[in-house]
Amino acid sequence: MSYTELTVWTRGIIMDKEGRDIVNSISASARLEGKFAQAMENYVDNPDRTNAPTRKYCRLSDNVLENELTYENEKPNIVVLVEGTMVKGWDYMRGMPPGGTLVINTHYTPEYMIRFVPGPERLAQLVCVDAAKLADHKWLYYRLGQLGLDRLSTEGAAERSKAIAPDIAAPLIAAVVKSTGIVKRETIEPMIANKKAFQMALDELHIMPLNPVAA
């Protein structure tokens, strides 16, 4: 695919870093693989909105990104829900072309979750991964310091920081990489802080094949 959009839905403030880590690391990996790539946060969603749905974006292309200044992904091929209950309530599938992938952080199976997805006929696959369990998710108690780091809306964190994806972003990145092949595992794995959760997720994610699109 010459042009791919990835949209991550997350919870404002408390899970912003998780969403940001996903788009930053995938964008940085794509650039290492010689693609043109960009990661950014939804500029309007961004500030002061604890728990509210916020979006992080990534774009990859074989060609220079002429829509670099466009502030939203219009046609996401891949959508990630960083928190499972986000599956209900609004249309995160909006604009998805046929053949898409939806990745959800949940302990439920895809067979159970599919009933909540609006417009599932556009999906080639539904991927569920219990990211919170795999990442031993306890940051509220002892990782506040890391949450405080990298608060800026900046791409480039993957190049700067060794602490990218210390938490539930790691299994979610693994799920995206394994189910879509958007970047190579070898490229992205060195950036991931929580390697154990990343590796466990590669084996423990549930992929439900749906409607493939003829290439």
Task: Return the structure tokens found at 38.
Answer: 């960009």
43 binds another protein (CB under 8 A): yes
Which residue, 155 or 189, is less far from another protein as judged by CB? Answer: 155
50 binds another protein (CB under 8 A): no
Binding mask 63-102 for another protein (x = CB under 8 A): ---xxxxxx-------------------------------
Sheet holding 36-41, edge to edge: 36-41, 53-61, 3-11, 78-81, 100-105, 123-129, 206-209
Which residue, 43 or 90, is less far from another protein as judged by CB? Answer: 43
CA dist 119 and 128 (Å) reads 17
Which residue, 155 or 167, is less far from another protein as judged by CB? Answer: 155
Applying CB under 8 A, the span of 1-9, 62-70, 166-174, 191-199 interacting with another protein comes to 62-70
* Pairing assessment for the beta strands 36-41 and 53-61 based on DSSP bridges: antiparallel
44 binds another protein (CB under 8 A): yes
* Closest distance to another protein from the beta carbon of 189 (Å): 20
Which residue, 152 or 213, is less far from another protein as judged by CB? Answer: 152
Binding mask 142-171 for another protein (x = CB under 8 A): ---------xxxxxx--xx-----------
* Closest distance to another protein from the beta carbon of 156 (Å): 4
Which residue, 35 or 122, is less far from another protein as judged by CB? Answer: 35
196 binds another protein (CB under 8 A): no
Which residue, 39 or 205, is less far from another protein as judged by CB? Answer: 39
**In whole angstroms, how far apart are CA 207 and each of 32, 127, 190, 203?**
27, 5, 24, 11
CA dist 206 and 126 (Å) reads 8
Total residues contacting another protein by CB under 8 A comes to 22
**3-class secondary structure, 56:** strand
Question: If you search the block for the tokens 């996401």, which residue do you land on?
Answer: 76
Question: If you search the block for the tokens 């919170």, which residue do you land on?
Answer: 132
Residues that bind another protein (CB under 8 A): 38-41, 43-44, 46-47, 66-71, 151-156, 159-160
